Structure 1
Amino acid sequence: MSDSLKNVRVFTQSAIRLEGARGTVVYFDPFALTEEEAVHDADYVLITHAHYDHFSPEDYARVAGEKTVVVAPASIAGEIAGLDAAETHLMVAGEKLELPGLCVEAVPAYNVEPERLGMHPQENGWLGYVVTLDGEPTRYYISGDTDQNPDNEAVRCDVALVPIGGTYTCDPRQAAAFVNALRPAAAVPTHYGSIVGAYADFDAFAAEVDPAIEVVKKLER
């Protein structure tokens, strides 16, 4: 599976870039990108929620071009309107969207652990996404800021990109339990090593993941 992840990049926090077999480029939650990473190559930008480290207009501008299409939760329509995207699609959990080169399924993203219920409340309508690119069968699950919860623990995916930094999301142990429930072929941890979580959290996460699931380190900084 790791060969198929050459098309996956993880930048700071949960900033992710996927590229399809025919060149479709999708970013998720671009944030704190460097000048070298500001290449304006996004066909699509998917936003999971409104927190500043996930919805950054400045970083959207670093990846977007004249034809970039935005997908975002309907609950943050007002914030997204300021991006001046070529096209915008607003989603709620359970919806499916077919776009050229991209299929998107919206999954609820929210906390259930008592100490962080107020950080990503279920009623906010924030999202994770399952996507396929360029007609290929690989299903990528970008979970957004979440805990394992009754709405996401049965997601079908081949690659799971999940947060491990704790405080606002799953910690390494909880994230590993989440991945073990999902049973993907590969897991890529995100949301650690900057605002929350240490780089050493990768090792703690990997140690708890079922050995049958490949754990791939993609965080670049």
Structure 2
Amino acid sequence: MLDKIDVLTHSSIKIRSDFATVYVDPFNIKEEAHDADYVFVTHDHYDHFSPKDIRKIIKDTTIIVCPYKMFEDAREFEREVKEIVAVKPSESYELDSLEVETVPAYNTIKPFHPKRAEWVGYILKLDGKRIYIAGDTGLTKESKTVKCDIALVPIGGTYTMDAKRAAELINIIKPEAAIPTHYGAIVGKPADAKTFAANVQAPVQVVEKIQYYK
């Protein structure tokens, strides 16, 4: 499954599963592929909800999933896609046989992502694996209870966990593999991935996936 997951840049993620092609927070998309079966948005900040980039990947059968408080913003796509689904934190959904769980994503000591905004990360069940895409979050009590096989977590600091805090989370939830995100472009340095890997304990496999930084 790891070879089917790409971090395009920052927190822009593409997963090519046997079931569907999934994007999460598409941003700075280089090509107009129009191949998305699902687009998941974690929150409404410009580097996660980018209408111009979403338009490069959607098609008329795409399902867009977003937090319910930004549903009105997402409605601008309603004539261009199959469906827009609004979700709340700590819930489970089934979308055309895709099993989805939402995990609250928020800062505990920073003001950028307040818990009251009810933004989310996602756990997607694809090809028999539970894949956790954390979104912009700190080290929260909810994130510590996640059960997953693969975790994509932010490491850039400033607006999210930094590399050491993200590694602390991985050492608690113990997935098979961890992929760092949210570094090297808007915030964080490419070297943060090395710090993250150095602090993640075996047997968790750390895999760097970012394809480009700009």
Same fold (TM over 0.5): yes
* Deviation for aligned residue 1:70: 0.6
Aligned residue in 1 for 2:129: 138
2:201 matches 1:207: no
* Deviation for aligned residue 1:160: 0.3
Q: Which amino acid aligns with 1:66?
A: D
Q: Where do 1:27-46 residues align within 5 Å?
A: 27-35=23-31, 38-46=32-40
SS at match of 2:55: helix
Q: Where do 1:1-221 residues align within 5 Å?
A: 4-22=1-19, 24-35=20-31, 38-84=32-78, 85-113=81-109, 116=110, 118-133=111-126, 136-221=127-212
Which has the larger displacement, 62-71 or 81-90?
81-90
Partners of 2:158 and 2:137 in 1: CA distance: 11
* Deviation per residue, 1:107-141 (Å, 9 max, x gap): 1000012xx2x1000000000000012xx320000
Q: Which amino acid aligns with 2:148?
A: C
* Deviation for aligned residue 1:86: 1.7
Partners of 2:147 and 2:172 in 1: CA distance: 10
Computed over aligned residues only, the root mean square deviation of the Cα atoms, in angstroms, reads 1.0
SS at match of 1:62: coil
* Deviation per residue, 1:64-118 (Å, 9 max, x gap): 01111011101111111112232011110121111225211011000012xx2x1
* Deviation for aligned residue 1:181: 1.0
SS at match of 2:9: coil
Specify every segment of 5 or more residues in structure 2 that has no aligned partner in the other structure, as ranges: none
> Percent identity between the aligned chains?
43
Specify every segment of 5 or more residues in structure 1 that has no aligned partner in the other structure, as ranges: none
Partners of 1:216 and 1:61 in 2: CA distance: 29
Partners of 2:91 and 2:165 in 1: CA distance: 27
